[in-house]
Amino acid sequence: MTHFLLGSVCLVLPVAAIALGTQWILPAMGVAATIGGGLGVGWLLACSPRWLRRAPVTSICVLGMALGCLGHLYLMPRLDVWLRFTSTIEEVDKYQRIIRGGGVATIPSYDSGQGWPRLTSIEHPSEHGLVLYTRAPFQRWTLFGYTDSCYLAFYGDGRKALVLKTEEMLRQALASDGH
């Protein structure tokens, strides 16, 4: 039963970290995968044949939770990027509302995963063209280090951000807008 409770806590730990803020997602994921996933692998090697005969349903639940904790290694970095670029979109929306209203605002910065660069603005944008974009990509954690995940481009006509997967797609968006 202890294995089941520990696996349950590890399975929901990253979800609780979301409520605390994006800076806690990756540490919580690491703890959950290490303890929960480590528990599953250790338990599988040490006890599974005996437990599978005595309590097959509990055994499968414990193993399922441990594997779910290892699934955090795939899912949580992507969720982290999504939360960061959603926050950037909200900041840009605020910025554009202030600018359209005739106010003065500082170009927002964004959490790229490896720092807080400012969005890059286009000097003389067309009315409906590209006005801001992320020069540095959003970074996503992987087992082998950080990797580029996506770029964002924002338009002056109020359209939501365009998510660009590669630097080449960003260059094409800039070129098609005459920049």
pTM for the predicted model, two decimal places: 0.78
pLDDT at 38: 80
Q: What's the Cα-to-Cα distance from 148 to each of 33, 60, 80, 145, 166, rounded to whole Å?
A: 23, 36, 13, 10, 8
Give 12-43 pLDDT, tens digit per residue. Answer: 777 777 777 778 888 888 888 888 788 777 87
Give 54-76 pLDDT, tens digit per residue. Answer: 888 878 887 888 888 888 888 88
Distance CA 36, CA 108 (A): 38
Distance CA 115, CA 109 (A): 10
